[in-house]
Every structure is written in C-alpha cells, then in structure tokens.
Amino acid sequence: MSLSDNVKMVLFDYGGVIAPEGFQLGILKLAHIFDRPFEEMYEIAGYLSGLDNGYTAGKTTEDNYWRSIAEILGVPDDLEKYRYVYLDNFQPRAGMVELIETIDNYQLGIFSDQTNWIYELDKLHDFMRYFNYLCISCDKGYTKHDQNFYDIPAKETGIPAAKILLIDDKIRVIENARRHGMQGYHFTSVEACRSYLKDRNIII
C-alpha cells in the first residue's frame, strides 16, 4: 500500500495556500489609510467586524461589515469603497495552480474562511473549476474558529475524515483538523508542498 492510498480527498485553503494571504495585507492597507496600528485594525476588521459580527460565517452582509468598521473607527459610513484593499491581494499563485492541475484520481476541495468575495475572485481568476467540493465559511455558517466546521467535509462527501488531507498555512488549523480525524500538512511554500505531495505519491 502506498502512502497515497490513505488519501481520497485533498482540501486546500484559499488565502494563504492557493493565493497569498490577502486578508492580512488588506488590513495592513486599511491600517495605513486610517493611521492605526496593524494590531488594532486586525482586531477591528478581522475579529469585531468579521468574526464576531458574523460576516465571515455568512451571517450578515458586506454592508454591515463595513458599517461596523466605520462605527468602531468613528468615521463616515462609506467604507465599502475600500473593498479593493482585500480583493487586489487574492490572485492565485501560478505555481500552486500548476501543482493542483497535476493531481489526478483524487477529489479536490477548498476549505477556507472566505466571504462572498471568493465568488467575485473566481469570476476574475477562474480557479474553482479545479475543485469538485467547496467548504467555504460564508456558505456553511461556521469558520475555522468553530470546531463544527472541521466535521463538515466528511459528513458532506461521505469520505472518512482519516482519508482527507487538509493543506493550510496556519498550524492551529492543521491541529484542529487532526483533532477531528483529518490528515494535515502545514503549507510554507509551493515547492515544499510539491515535494510533500510527491513523497506521498499524490503527484508524480
């Protein structure tokens, strides 16, 4: 039995693996625009207005996301004009797309904390065509901070968690995936990921 026999599905994070981590870069740009420390803006845009407000899990609208940020910052409520600070950063890595194209005989999926923006990005970059399964936080009502999110792929696909490999750039996500029975690989670069998948005989 080869190592690849233990894998039936490979799940990829979007921001941080398929594409760069555009959310953090977007927050850095917002911090510069509003002259706030990065850590403060991350708390406002990432947690208070994103996670806590329900936007990342699809429980509120993008309008409410920007309105929440404006209220916390105490600025006029017209911040949606700044959405480009996120969207401009999420172009898929050419090397990662090429790697995904070489994977045969496995189900491929996206497992990602993303908002409605991911569908706009797909219209621009046409990357979802490589995947036959999507587990996106805005569609499922959970994020990677919710333990229930990690059980969804196995439940929806019927593939045992032990035969699902998750590739993610955050160690806490990999650790959570493993707690829920999945296999996990911590992504650091396209070339390191390529070598790992070759060692697993998932790609040639």
CB-CB contact of 4 with 200 (8 Å): yes
Q: Mean pLDDT score of the chain, rounded to an integer? A: 95
According to DSSP, the residues that pair with 135 across neighbouring strands are 111
Helices (H), the chain: 22-33, 38-41, 62-73, 84-87, 94-101, 117-125, 137-140, 152-157, 171-179, 190-199
CA 136/CA 57 separation, integer angstroms: 8
Both tokens of 45, joined, read 């845009």
CA 203/CA 32 separation, integer angstroms: 42
Strands 183-186 and 107-112: unpaired
DSSP state of 181: T
pLDDT computed for residue 76 by the predictor = 84
pLDDT higher than threshold 50 for residue 1:
no
What is the percent of the chain where pLDDT is above 90?
95
Task: Tell me the mean pLDDT in the region 75-80.
Answer: 87
According to DSSP, the residues that pair with 83 across neighbouring strands are none
Walk me through the domains of the chain, giving residue ranges and CATH numbers: 3-19+91-199 (3.40.50.1000), 22-87 (no CATH)
Q: In what order do the strands lie in the sheet with 164-168?
A: 133-136, 107-112, 9-12, 164-168, 183-186
pLDDT in tens, 13-34: 999 999 999 899 999 999 999 9
CA 20/CA 15 separation, integer angstroms: 5
